[in-house]
Structure 1
């Protein structure tokens, strides 16, 4: 294999990816900051945040997954230089994201009683419920923000979301510090302070994103001529048809990780806290693959718009290779630092909490060994999904992810976690199995489609759509 044809694409891939990665890390940092600051309060508080966030993460997966439909439509239209199509995708997508954000907030609020049915410790549930009220509301500005972000990403303007996230995190850290611990004139709100900080920072994020995009001379025309009279059911339906399977793809993965939280909660508070620690660290490294996934979606949709499928394969494989290299590096770091990193999340100097905290850190260290391996599979599956979304091929990947995570991954997690001495480590072995299956079958799907497209279009010609 001639690797140089792929490695020469690395520079442009990274140029597009690094703002997305930093933006994704910013999203993750909001949760990590919450976990670190709340972890200082104790394992019960950390477990409560983990439990409350499970429902929000499920809803968030649907919203973010759905919004990804905007990027390939905009990216394809950009390659075709169809400004009218770009504007239409933006306006229709933003309306759908707003409606979805409000709907998801209401759904999570109505679903709160489910927490009481999950056999979690009562003291954890009592803390999680009021925390969930505020965090659920933050879904509204978050999903609206996604409408702006996916539009900008489709036009390869990936830096704007990075700026918005950085500003949001600065606000979030400051608010968390004063609201959690009760600094200066602010009341001591504990984990509810962390939730309120999340809400305010996400509102600031979407406001900033709106104004910074509108100030761009190239993007300003797309903010003009908005009218509900111009909203077309047909165009709404196209985004819905692409967005719904994409939302379910992300939903299937996130709910698998959510069940890991619940299963670890059944085992005990220390296992649940350890799961949250290891998951927070694994999520940080996963954001690098997510950034490359967005890059794949942008570049593949551009190549699809130009009908150059041979180059499309080269571009896609260059991104896949880059993702593997990055995740292997992180795998080595996780193995080398698996005893050190978990201790950052809990107060190891408090004698009263030392034994429970030490137990959580020990379990988290074991989970990081599993995470070192599964993040490679996780990185591969998410970048291949990005490429498939760029091709606007979403239905078959939806079925693939369901089988991988819920027919293969979950049963293994459940049996090993509930019925063997592996406990939390067994739960994560199921995650590894599901992610590996997804990576393999999604790549086979991509390979099959692109080979067919090359056969049907040996030279850049008229666009061929996925059936």
Structure 2
């Protein structure tokens, strides 16, 4: 009975922290879904495929930055658990400087990639549309990373509702601007596909501005933003964020790259396959990003336990997160397997071939829901332990050594078409889930004071 009461408290605390993060993460993904819904309904299958390809490759370029900055919330949580307000301030300012550095580096790479879109072997029409779309998305990378960096302070201090409210407001703005800019409603110009990209830029500018305004004007954050802290050096925090963030970001990159390159492989199969894949992957992205909310909560709670040198606290936080993720992703799997045709009809109705292919891909997506949920929570738990190097190697192996080559082989030599690509992804996710989970519980088994010492904070043991 005492065990039940203990874990009931863990579930409640994890849910209290993760639900606002989940809603915020869902809002970010739903912006892409909203773009695709408007593009698919108003412009057709080819612009839908181009927008999906540009979105995937643009996010690929920013994934190291977005994934790398998430370590700041765990570090803030650890400092907060030790009542070190000055450290929280230095981490916030250091993370903001890293965000600016990342935006210049990855924004530049995104522009470079846009001007070399011919490398991906897509049709001429898809290439032209996707290039212009991606250039606009490159401009929106800076406000996106500013928002991500600022929300790490709020999430790490256990105020995730701030980002949730801002993201959901931005989602409404994104839908509005998609509607009025794609077709040109009232005084707004008709921009076609570029109207959707412009809507994303405007929404991200709002997110960054609103997040900064709230943090600097709210009394909640005032103790961590005192003028006495403003001259404290942040060199060590910048280095720590880069040392932990780059491997953590690469872990995120390997998974995002796998799915982005899977889009390219599917594009070689034809425009109808590309559009169908984009519909199905949007659905899988929604459930995945909701699982990342649980993962973020796990990182924050595990890191707080580390700050208190509590192995039992880290164990309970991790187990609660795994159980919640498995429960949620099981429900998602049932939905994917039983309502696939209806889900696809929400995106497109005038292309029977696209609908048929997409419905079959959604079924495969239903099978990899559990693997996807487990592996992302395991990564969050390991991030809470500041263990980032070995997980990076695991994800590199699972996605680039197993998933991508197998996807190509099944799609072409074995002639399994787009289904083969998705089966390859399923196997890669499953391998990552097993290895990362084993890694987390083995690390907990060896939990001691050296785990949180500066010499080992990068996860090298």
Tell me the TM-score normalised to structure 2 length.
0.95
Instruction: Report SS of the residue matched to 1:453.
Output: coil
Instruction: Report SS of the residue matched to 1:182.
Output: coil
Instruction: Report SS of the residue matched to 1:340.
Output: helix
Gap runs ≥5 in structure 1: 349-353
Look up the match of 2:16: 15
Per-residue deviation at 1:463?
Answer: 12
Of 395, 416, 419, which residue of structure 2 is paired with 1:425? 419
Query: CA RMSD, aligned part only?
Result: 2.1
Look up the match of 1:109: 111
Look up the match of 1:161: 163
In the aligned structure 1, how far is the partner of 2:228 from the partner of 2:299? 27
CA contact (8 A) 1:324 1:376 kept: yes
Look up the match of 1:402: 396
* 1:177 to 1:328, Cα distance in 2 relative to 1, 3 A: same
In the aligned structure 2, how far is the partner of 1:179 from the partner of 1:219? 37
Per-residue deviation at 1:129?
Answer: 1.4
CA contact (8 A) 1:164 1:206 kept: no
Per-residue deviation at 1:214?
Answer: 1.9
Does 266-275 or 3-12 show the bigger shift? 3-12
Gap runs ≥5 in structure 2: none
In the aligned structure 2, how far is the partner of 1:461 from the partner of 1:69? 17
Of 107, 127, 139, which residue of structure 1 is paired with 2:141? 139
CA contact (8 A) 1:307 1:462 kept: no
In the aligned structure 2, how far is the partner of 1:69 from the partner of 1:418? 39
Per-residue deviation at 1:221?
Answer: 3.6
Counterparts of 1:49-64 in structure 2 under 5 Å?
A: 49-64=51-66
Does 448-457 or 248-257 show the bigger shift? 448-457
Per-residue deviation at 1:235?
Answer: 2.5
* 1:4 to 1:333, Cα distance in 2 relative to 1, 3 A: farther
CA contact (8 A) 2:263 2:274 kept: yes
1:440 paired with 2:434, answer: yes
Per-residue deviation at 1:238?
Answer: 1.0
Counterparts of 1:11-410 in structure 2 under 5 Å?
A: 11-40=12-41, 41-225=43-227, 230-346=232-348, 348=349, 354=350, 357-410=351-404
In the aligned structure 2, how far is the partner of 1:133 from the partner of 1:227? 38
In the aligned structure 2, how far is the partner of 1:260 from the partner of 1:464? 36
Q: Any idea what the Cα deviations from partners look like across 1:390-413, whole Å, max 9, x if unmatched? A: 111101111111001111111110
* 1:73 to 1:456, Cα distance in 2 relative to 1, 3 A: closer
Does 228-237 or 419-428 show the bigger shift? 228-237
* 1:4 to 1:223, Cα distance in 2 relative to 1, 3 A: closer
CA contact (8 A) 2:91 2:234 kept: no
CA contact (8 A) 1:307 1:463 kept: no
Look up the match of 1:351: none
Per-residue deviation at 1:447?
Answer: 1.0
In the aligned structure 2, how far is the partner of 1:143 from the partner of 1:296? 22
Aligned length: 457
In the aligned structure 1, how far is the partner of 2:229 from the partner of 2:13? 37
Tell me the TM-score normalised to structure 1 length.
0.94
In the aligned structure 2, how far is the partner of 1:241 from the partner of 1:380? 25
